[in-house]
Amino acid sequence: MKGILFTFALLSPIIGGLIYGLERKFKARMQNRQGPPILQPFYDFFKLTDKRALQVHSFHSLMGIAFFVAAWFAVFALLIGPNILIAIFLHVLALLFFTAGGFSVKSPYSVMGALRELAHILAAEPILVFAAIALYLSTGSWNIEGILTSNTVPILQMPLLFCALVLTVPILLKRSPFDISEAHQEIIGGAEIEYSGLFYEAVYTAKWLEYIFIGVIVFLFGGSNYLLGALLVAATFLFVWLLDNATTRLTIHYMMKFAWGILLPLAAFNIFWVAIWR
């Protein structure tokens, strides 16, 4: 088990890239387009390696690299570390570098993107913490191996929380209707705008790791039933891609109201109910 998880963590940028490629393909098919090849993210990756790097200043570029390294480390901590709660906070640490990079340049779009990224953290982080607590509540373990080998299936106890988590995925992955911090037509990528060449490559790859991070958390809701877990992940991503195609961007206020007014109570209610019901 440990070996598989370690290999998975090691390969996570590649798998994340494949998921991103799949996403672009699926979204194109949903729009009745042919779409790019599935390996397209890797083509982009290789092309970016061969570009001349421009930078605003070295601090900013380093933060991009730190974002990638820290995001990968968060995935490692999630997959082989003994505590998923720590992994969630390490993920916030990775986002800290991303926002620090965004804040560090005198570019309006970048700073605006970083500020909106903070709103994303504010909206999504409590729900992720709730998800970890829910997993602990139903399986009695903070450890990924413990969750994967427990007898219970967390989603059966936590259906509402799972719904909340699925609706948080667009907030984490910055997909429509909550692609507020990226907002390509509005602030041109937000905090990632000033990166270029190799440095953009780091940020680009770090974003693939987010798929792995959220995917694993969704997978854990299948408990020891891996087939169910895989189905949940597939269903979640397909739903998010459909949602991305079908909706338009909402405002930051709406996102906060939605996350705090609907998702959080939903998740909290589920956890409290399970706690009291026992």
> Of the ranges 103-111, 149-157, 160-168, 243-251, which one interacts with other proteins (CB under 8 A)?
103-111
Nearest distance from C-beta of residue 227 to other proteins, angstroms = 27
First and final C-alpha spacing in the chain: 31
8 A C-beta contact, residue 70 and residue 97: yes
- Asked if 193 interacts with other proteins (CB under 8 A), we say yes
37 sits in the region (left: phi over 0; alpha: psi -120 to 50; else beta) called beta
The two structure tokens encoding residue 27 = 């979204």
Q: Which of 216, 214, 213 is nearest to 166 (CA)?
A: 214
Residue nearer to other proteins on the CB measure, 230 or 260: 260
| 133 is a site residue for other proteins (CB under 8 A) | yes
Quick check: 78 binds other proteins (CB under 8 A)? no
In the range 223-262, which residues lie near other proteins by CB under 8 A?
A: 253
Which residues lie closer than 8 Å to 170 by C-beta, 6 or more apart? 176, 177, 178, 179, 240, 243, 244
Rule CB under 8 A: which of 29-48 touch other proteins? 31-37, 40, 43-44, 46-47
Select 31 or 248, whichever has its Cβ closest to other proteins: 31
In the bound state with other proteins, the residue whose beta carbon lies nearer, of 34 and 227, is 34
Looking at the Cβ atoms of 210 and 233, the one nearer to other proteins is 210
Instruction: Give me 153's structure tokens.
Output: 């299936």
Q: Which of 68, 103, 208, 258 binds other proteins (CB under 8 A)?
A: 103
Among 5, 9, 66, 220, binds other proteins (CB under 8 A): 66
